[in-house]
């Protein structure tokens, strides 16, 4: 949960999550839909899908026990080099080279590594690997993380308190804030589309499930036009799933990792005679008391809130 998310944002999700599924067997047996519902709002939903797959694999292939080496951990769904090394070092005392953003900053400054990120990652990992102690590698990793987060900060690092200042080439040169070197960020592409909030006479909202692959896979949504990270979708009511009296409700903006999206929101109330329309057969109706528990990404919560401002207020 802490990958790409702050501790403050994660805490309530984590507490709820471990109450629902206190061990790996419970999570393996849970439905994918319930896991996505519990994750809704944290973003980067592939993490939740991989976590579920990981629990299933550990239960079926590893007899419920986590692998205890970096090499074996890397075989688990969603576990990359940082996560594998961190678990191996901290949980199993393996001298693995743990490299997160804080450690990247510390090592690029100590050794004045001028190669820009992300190209420098391999060089940084090699440097870290040469310094990992055989004894207490987990403490070494956590100490470096703490050093980067509390002293060797991105701006105005507190070098006078740094226990390794005498080893730091960037500090000696007075150029700490030049590292790590990063290439200029490219402007994010801007995409547009339309979203359609259909409500019934009781205030229920029509939802459907997104495809099981791609952006926001397996999440719930209101109908939208055919937009994605590479193309715009129709922005008018012409793209609506059925012929209703559509009312414009303005637009919402949402920033993804690789692009920025603007959705023009339309709303309509469906009548009883339209309820059997075949175009709505693949979805379901979520009432005012259920909508907050649906597996809706923040994008869709913004869309629904544009029409129903109190939909997600407790």
**DSSP for 46-78, written as a single string:** HHHHHHHHHHHHHHHHSTT----SHHHHTTSTT
Cβ neighbourhood burial of 36 (10 Å; 0-12, 13-18, 19+): buried
Span 101-178 CATH architecture:
Orthogonal Bundle (1.10)
Token output for 281 = 């057969």
Q: Where do runs of H (alpha helix) occur along 93-228?
A: 101-110, 121-131, 137-150, 169-173
What is the chain's pLDDT, residue by residue, as a tens digit (314 residues)? Answer: 887 778 888 999 999 999 999 999 999 999 988 998 899 888 788 889 999 999 999 999 999 999 999 999 999 998 999 999 999 999 999 999 999 999 999 999 999 999 999 999 999 999 999 999 999 999 999 999 999 999 999 999 999 999 999 999 999 999 999 999 999 988 899 999 999 999 988 889 999 999 888 888 888 999 999 999 999 999 999 999 988 999 999 999 999 988 999 999 999 998 755 666 556 778 899 999 999 889 899 999 999 999 999 999 86
DSSP-based three-state secondary structure for 152? coil
Span 190-307 CATH architecture:
Alpha-Beta Complex (3.90)
The 3-state DSSP composition of the chain as helix, strand, coil percent (nearest 5) reads 40, 15, 45
First to last CA, the chain: 24
Preceding peptide of 118 cis, ω within 30°? yes
Q: Select from 73, 82, 185, 184 the least CA-distant residue to 141.
A: 82
DSSP-based three-state secondary structure for 271? coil
CA atoms within 13 A on the CB side of 198: 25
Cβ neighbours for 251, distance < 8 A, ≥ 6 positions apart: 262, 263, 264, 265
Q: pTM, whole model, 2 decimals?
A: 0.74
For the chain, which residues make up each domain, given as ranges?
A: 7-92, 101-178, 190-307
| Residue 185 near residue 117 (C-beta atoms within 8 A) | no
Q: 7-92: which CATH topology?
A: Endonuclease III; domain 1 (1.10.340)
pLDDT, position 74: 95
User: Rounded distance, CA 107 to CA 123, Å?
Assistant: 10
| Residue 45 near residue 218 (C-beta atoms within 8 A) | yes
Which value, to the nearest 10 degrees, does the dihedral of the CA atoms of residues 120, 126, 129, 131 take? Answer: -90
pLDDT, position 274: 65
Is the Cα dihedral 268, 271, 276, 277 positive or negative? negative
User: Rounded distance, CA 70 to CA 41, Å?
Assistant: 30
């Amino acid at each position: 949960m802490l990958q790409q998310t702050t501790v403050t944002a994660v805490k309530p999700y984590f507490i709820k999550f471990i109450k629902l599924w206190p061990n790996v067997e419970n999570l393996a047996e849970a439905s994918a839909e319930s896991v996505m519902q519990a994750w809704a709002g944290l973003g980067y939903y592939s993490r939740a899908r991989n976590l579920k797959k990981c629990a299933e694999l550990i239960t079926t292939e590893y007899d419920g026990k986590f692998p205890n080496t970096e090499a074996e951990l890397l075989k688990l769904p969603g576990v990359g080099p940082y996560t594998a090394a961190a678990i191996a070092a901290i949980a199993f005392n393996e001298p693995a080279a743990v490299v997160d953003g804080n450690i990247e900053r510390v090592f690029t400054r100590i050794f004045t590594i001028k190669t820009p990120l992300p190209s420098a990652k391999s060089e940084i990992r090699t440097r870290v690997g040469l310094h990992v102690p055989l004894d207490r590698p987990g403490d070494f990793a956590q100490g470096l993380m703490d050093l980067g987060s509390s002293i060797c900060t991105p701006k105005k690092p507190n070098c006078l308190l740094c226990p390794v200042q005498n080893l730091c080439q960037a500090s000696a040169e007075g150029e700490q804030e030049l590292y790590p070197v990063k290439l200029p960020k490219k402007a994010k592409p801007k995409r547009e589309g339309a979203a359609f909030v259909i409500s019934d006479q009781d205030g229920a909202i029509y939802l459907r499930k997104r495809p099981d692959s791609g952006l926001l896979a397996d999440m719930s949504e209101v109908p939208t036009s055919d937009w994605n990270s590479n193309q715009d979708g129709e922005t008018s009511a012409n793209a609506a799933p059925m012929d209703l009296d559509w009312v414009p409700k303005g637009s919402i903006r949402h920033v993804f990792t690789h692009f920025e999206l603007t959705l023009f929101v339309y709303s309509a109330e469906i009548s009883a005679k339209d309820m059997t329309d075949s175009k709505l057969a693949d979805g379901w109706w979520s009432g005012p008391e259920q909508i907050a528990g649906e597996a809706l990404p923040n994008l869709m919560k913004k869309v629904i809130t544009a029409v129903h401002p109190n939909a997600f207020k407790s």
